[in-house]
């Protein structure tokens, strides 16, 4: 028999069904070795020697594989078919070196899909571990380690409150910060357009836009103000209009290529609202279940047999007219042949989404993959685009109407790609319009517009931009975007990525003192060098040596920097955005409160940054980095919002624990006036009086409960928004719901809390999700806890880290968390064993020893 090792138990279970009893299939549970998180794990002076150690959670998995090899002579490494998968195989081979003596055989197999045919085909074509791919991994891992363990301490010392700085994450953060600076520096420009509702002699209406005025074609800014727009309206109204031309042109739209990693993440974000991490987690589970091909790929080509299967599925489901005459072949330039994979596609084209036995995000993502794949092999859509020009006899004014008709939907019957903007299409369908006929003017209206700043990045547009710049690779996009959010450098607001103050400071620091290492071209060139290593065209230690020589010199230049120098430099760097010109022409750095002190950049112990007055503590003026420079900034003494019905002033203030609203002022009779903290996501500088009063009036009574007549209330507490009935509290998902929730919804939320077995309900706690069986027996469940969700197996409870949601966590991730908790002394089998051992070794406490201890303590 042979021992086959894959990464996850789910993958092992699927493969075991195909291979049968002649093979022992085990899981490594991801990487089994890594660099210890301490200085010295990579030694540049010793030829970049790397010191690896088997992770505590992985030791039992390595022991299980070693035990199986005692009776089996062959180890087959069947980890993922990419650079990271090759590295896991290499690590396993190294970690099992002592068990692979005496003629044991080690072979490497890869497959792009977990199907019986793909797995058995791979088993018949084994190879050795590809050391060129491994060396590319070693170079990347060493680079990330050297940057992290040498640049991060510089940040900690020179920029209080800053966290670590990753090699690629810092470049990604720069993209987000620079986009925000563009938005802040943007000056809107006014322009107007004139639209008309016209009608044919038969009474059918259509829309047209003014394109010619005074015999000249209108440019975007020609109608610069309302006066110019009104003159244009009068010019149209005063003239009779006739149809000058009607032009209909046939057009075709071809389908989009099938998914690769980056385009899958972009579409999952646009259409499903899924972040990159959630998308890849769902894709991983679909792959391990054998439903889709490997999900980390730069390739868009499809295997010939898959193309033919797709064509058969299209003919069966939609008819022969939807099958193009010849198969569609998609090709892109792979980074190198060893890492080229197929596109992401279903393994069975006849398995439509409605037949898939999966739920939630997996089902939604499979639906997206299936539709994109099927559409990629369908016939083109045939359209007719019509342009109608309507004008006056003297040629002074002319209007244009556009529209399109879909003659044959083709691939659009199944799928159309989402958009990141709201750009205009060719317009709606037009009625029948004849050349030379009159156009009756039903309505003519001017419309004001303002140019818009560039939009903030979403995860989809950020991944797209990183791909365009050559930053990162398919396997890294999700972790890059997740990491900068976990470090509180960036937050997500309504799906858009917004830099926090920490992120701005880190970017300003790195741009000033380590500019080369956050340049887009430099990072992309380094990625290309890693690809050249994996292709065997470059020596990885040579790449490391050249990088290390220049990087250490840059680190050395910052050794004597003082924190005050750093803040001054960053203040100067950000000055155009921190201190924009004032409308009255006065010095933008003069404090608007005291009129004497100068504004400058300051940092808090928490790592946040703010603008403060140099006359502190006599003047306590402060404002956040992103607030406008002016009198209305939020200060500890308060920014007035208005008055309540009783005439009490309502202010928003900057406090020790963040912004808050206050009713009235502190007096001897009322030393503690009404106050309420602003919920997360509420901006102090844009808060209105109405919103402030809503906060101050919490908790909000909803009404008497239909069962017992007791009051049901909604409020915001220590653990977020909630509804309350008697002593039962039930959390609400959104703060806004506190102000809108009605009795029906409140009763439903309270009932759900009771069904889950919340505190005081007396009901058994029901799991949020069942993940599957533990290898040692017993179910692994996701539970809702007082302090957040956690995974449970027997008596071991492991809290979910904030980057893992109850909906996205996999069995593999849960098992790793449970193993880690058990290793730290958590309850359960291992915990009970530890407890028994400790108890057996402990000496009984006698009266004498107790007396001696008491004397010693005194």
Catalytic-residue membership of 722:
no
Which pLDDT score, from 0 to 100, does residue 579 have?
85
Contact between 114 and 15 (Cβ < 8 Å): yes
Choose among 176, 140, 37: nearest CA to 481.
176
The answer for residues whose C-beta is within 8 angstroms of residue 502's C-beta and 6 or more apart is 161, 162, 163, 487, 488, 489, 607, 608, 609
**674/635: higher pLDDT:** 674
> Which of 275-284, 597-606, 715-724 has the least mean pLDDT?
597-606
With cut-offs at 50, 70 and 90, classify the pLDDT of residue 842.
very low
Choose among 393, 440, 447, 398: nearest CA to 236.
398
- Would you say residue 843 has pLDDT above 60? no
- Return d(Cα 496, Cα 421) in angstroms, integer: 13
Which pLDDT score, from 0 to 100, does residue 627 have?
55
With cut-offs at 50, 70 and 90, classify the pLDDT of residue 763.
very low
- Would you say residue 760 has pLDDT above 80? no
Which pLDDT score, from 0 to 100, does residue 175 have?
95
Average pLDDT over residues 180-199: 92
- Return d(Cα 550, Cα 405) in angstroms, integer: 60
| Burial profile 472-506: b = 16 or more Cβ within 10 angstroms, e = fewer | bbbbbbbbbbbbbbebbbbeeeeebbbbbbbbbbb
Q: For the purposes of burial, counting CB atoms within 10 Å of the CB of 301, is it exposed (0-12), middle (13-18) or buried (19 or more)?
A: buried
Which pLDDT score, from 0 to 100, does residue 335 have?
55
- Would you say residue 339 has pLDDT above 60? no
> Which of 56-70, 83-97, 158-172, 239-253 has the least mean pLDDT?
158-172
> Which of 429-438, 538-547, 620-629 has the least mean pLDDT?
620-629
- Would you say residue 841 has pLDDT above 70? no
Average pLDDT over residues 275-289: 91
- Tokens at residue 457, please? 């990045």
* DSSP element (H, E) containing 399: strand 397-408
- Would you say residue 248 has pLDDT above 70? yes
Which pLDDT score, from 0 to 100, does residue 756 have?
64
Which pLDDT score, from 0 to 100, does residue 606 have?
55
Which pLDDT score, from 0 to 100, does residue 476 have?
82
Tokens 């404090």 correspond to what residue?
Answer: 591
- Return d(Cα 390, Cα 60) in angstroms, integer: 79
> Which of 456-465, 494-503, 803-812 has the least mean pLDDT?
803-812
| Catalytic pick among 294, 366, 457, 729 | 294
- Would you say residue 488 has pLDDT above 80? yes
- Return d(Cα 152, Cα 164) in angstroms, integer: 5
Which pLDDT score, from 0 to 100, does residue 401 have?
95
- Give a three-class secondary structure readout of 286-314: HHHCCCEECCCCCCCCCCHHHHHHHHHHH
**803/393: higher pLDDT:** 393
- Return d(Cα 175, Cα 195) in angstroms, integer: 38
The DSSP secondary-structure symbol of 320 reads G
Which pLDDT score, from 0 to 100, does residue 820 have?
84
- Would you say residue 835 has pLDDT above 60? no
- Return d(Cα 266, Cα 444) in angstroms, integer: 40
Please state whether the predicted TM-score (pTM) of the whole model is above 0.75.
no
- Would you say residue 847 has pLDDT above 60? no
- Tokens at residue 106, please? 């080690």
- Would you say residue 549 has pLDDT above 90? yes
Q: pLDDT per residue over 40-74, tens digit each?
A: 899 999 999 999 999 888 999 999 999 999 888 89
Q: pLDDT per residue over 489-541, tens digit each?
A: 899 888 899 998 888 888 989 999 998 888 999 988 998 999 899 888 999 99
Contact between 843 and 42 (Cβ < 8 Å): no
How many CB atoms lie under 10 A from the CB of residue 319? 10
With cut-offs at 50, 70 and 90, classify the pLDDT of residue 421.
low
Contact between 328 and 377 (Cβ < 8 Å): yes
- Tokens at residue 186, please? 């943007």
- Greatest alpha-carbon pair distance for the chain in Å reads 117
Return mean pLDDT, the chain: 86
The DSSP secondary-structure symbol of 346 reads B
> Which of 110-124, 186-200, 637-651 has the least mean pLDDT?
637-651
Phi, psi of 599 (to 5 degrees): -80, 140
Q: pLDDT per residue over 116-138, tens digit each?
A: 999 999 999 999 999 999 999 99
Which pLDDT score, from 0 to 100, does residue 239 have?
96
**359/286: higher pLDDT:** 286
């Amino acid at each position: 028999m042979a021992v086959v090792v894959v990464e996850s138990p789910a993958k092992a279970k699927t493969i075991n069904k195909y291979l049968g009893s002649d093979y022992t299939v085990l899981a490594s549970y991801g990487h089994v070795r890594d660099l210890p998180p301490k200085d010295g794990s990579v030694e540049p002076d010793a030829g970049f020697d790397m010191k690896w150690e088997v992770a505590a959670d992985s030791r039992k998995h390595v022991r299980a594989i070693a035990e199986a090899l005692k009776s089996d002579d062959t180890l087959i490494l069947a980890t993922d078919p990419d650079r990271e998968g090759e590295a896991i195989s290499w690590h396993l081979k190294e970690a099992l070196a002592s068990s692979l003596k005496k003629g044991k055989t080690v072979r490497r197999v890869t497959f792009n899909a977990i199907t019986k045919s793909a797995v058995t085909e791979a088993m018949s074509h084994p190879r050795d571990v590809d050391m060129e791919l491994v060396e590319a991994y070693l170079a990347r891992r060493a680079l990330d380690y050297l940057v992290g363990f040498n640049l991060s301490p510089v940040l900690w010392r020179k920029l209080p409150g800053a966290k670590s700085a990753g090699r690629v994450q810092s470049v990604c953060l720069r993209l987000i910060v620079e986009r925000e600076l563009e938005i802040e520096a943007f000056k809107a420009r006014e322009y107007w357009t004139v639209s008309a509702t016209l009608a044919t002699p038969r009474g059918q209406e259509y829309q047209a836009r003014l394109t010619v005025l005074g015999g000249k074609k209108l440019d975007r800014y020609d109608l610069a103000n309302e006066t110019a727009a009104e003159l244009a309206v009068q010019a149209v109204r005063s003239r009779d209009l006739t149809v000058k031309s009607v032009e209909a042109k046939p057009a075709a739209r071809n389908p989009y290529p099938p998914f690769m990693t980056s385009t899958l993440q972009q579409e999952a974000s646009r259409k499903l609202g899924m972040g990159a991490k959630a998308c890849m987690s769902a894709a991983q589970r679909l792959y391990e279940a054998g439903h889709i091909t490997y999900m980390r790929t730069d390739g868009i080509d499809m295997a010939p047999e898959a193309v033919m299967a797709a064509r058969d599925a299209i003919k069966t489901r939609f008819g022969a007219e939807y099958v193009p005459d010849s198969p569609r072949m998609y090709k892109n330039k792979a980074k190198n042949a060893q890492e080229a994979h197929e596109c992401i596609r279903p393994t069975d084209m006849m398995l439509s989404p409605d037949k898939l036995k999966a739920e939630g995000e997996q089902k939604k993502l499979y639906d997206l993959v299936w539709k994109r794949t099927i559409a990629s092999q369908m016939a083109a859509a045939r359209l007719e685009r019509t342009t109608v020009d309507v004008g006056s006899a003297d040629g002074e004014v002319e209007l244009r109407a556009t529209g399109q008709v879909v003659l044959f939907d083709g691939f659009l019957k199944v799928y159309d790609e989402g958009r990141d903007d709201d750009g205009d299409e060719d317009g709606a369908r037009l009625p029948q319009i004849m050349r030379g006929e009159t156009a009756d003017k039903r309505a003519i209206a001017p419309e004001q517009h303002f140019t818009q700043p560039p939009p903030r990045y979403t995860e989809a547009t950020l991944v797209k931009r990183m791909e365009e710049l050559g930053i990162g690779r398919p396997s890294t996009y999700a972790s890059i975007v997740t990491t900068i959010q976990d470090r509180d450098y960036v937050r997500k607001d309504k799906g858009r990525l917004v830099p926090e103050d920490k992120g701005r400071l880190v970017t300003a620091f790195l741009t000033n003192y380590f500019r080369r290492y956050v340049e887009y071209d430099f990072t992309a060139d380094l990625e290309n060098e890693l690809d050249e290593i994996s292709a065997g065209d470059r020596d990885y230690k040579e790449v490391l040596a050249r990088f290390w020589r220049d990087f250490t010199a840059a680190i050395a230049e910052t050794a004597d920097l003082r924190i005050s120098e750093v803040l001054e430099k960053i203040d100067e760097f950000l000055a155009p955005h921190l201190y924009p010109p004032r409308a009255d022409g006065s010095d933008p750095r003069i404090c608007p409160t005291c009129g004497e002190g100068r504004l400058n950049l300051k940092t808090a112990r928490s790592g946040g940054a703010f603008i403060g007055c140099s006359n502190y503590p006599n003047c306590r003026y402060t404002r956040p980095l992103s607030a406008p420079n002016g009198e209305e900034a939020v200060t500890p003494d308060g920014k007035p919002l208005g008055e309540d019905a009783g005439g009490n002033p309502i202010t928003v203030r900057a406090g020790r624990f963040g912004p808050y609203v206050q009713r009235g002022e502190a007096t001897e009779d009322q030393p503690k006036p009404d106050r309420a903290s602003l919920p997360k996501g509420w901006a102090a500088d844009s808060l209105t009086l109405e919103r402030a009063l809503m906060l101050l009036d919490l908790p909000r009574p909803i009404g008497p409960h239909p069962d017992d007549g007791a009051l049901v209330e909604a409020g915001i507490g220590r653990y977020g928004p909630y509804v309350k009935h008697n002593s039962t509290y039930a959390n609400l998902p959104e703060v806004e719901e506190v102000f809108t929730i009605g009795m029906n919804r409140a009763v439903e939320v309270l009932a759900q809390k009771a069904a889950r077995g919340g505190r005081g309900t007396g009901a058994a706690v029901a799991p949020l999700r069942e993940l599957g069986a533990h290898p040692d027996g017993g179910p692994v469940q996701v539970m809702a806890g007082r302090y957040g969700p956690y995974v449970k197996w027997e008596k071991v409870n492991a809290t979910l880290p904030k980057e893992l949601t109850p909906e996205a966590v996999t069995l593999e991730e849960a098992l790793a968390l449970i193993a880690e908790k058990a290793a730290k002394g958590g309850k359960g089998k291992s915990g009970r064993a530890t407890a028994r051992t400790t108890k057996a070794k402990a000496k009984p406490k006698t009266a004498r020893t107790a007396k001696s201890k008491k004397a010693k303590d005194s």
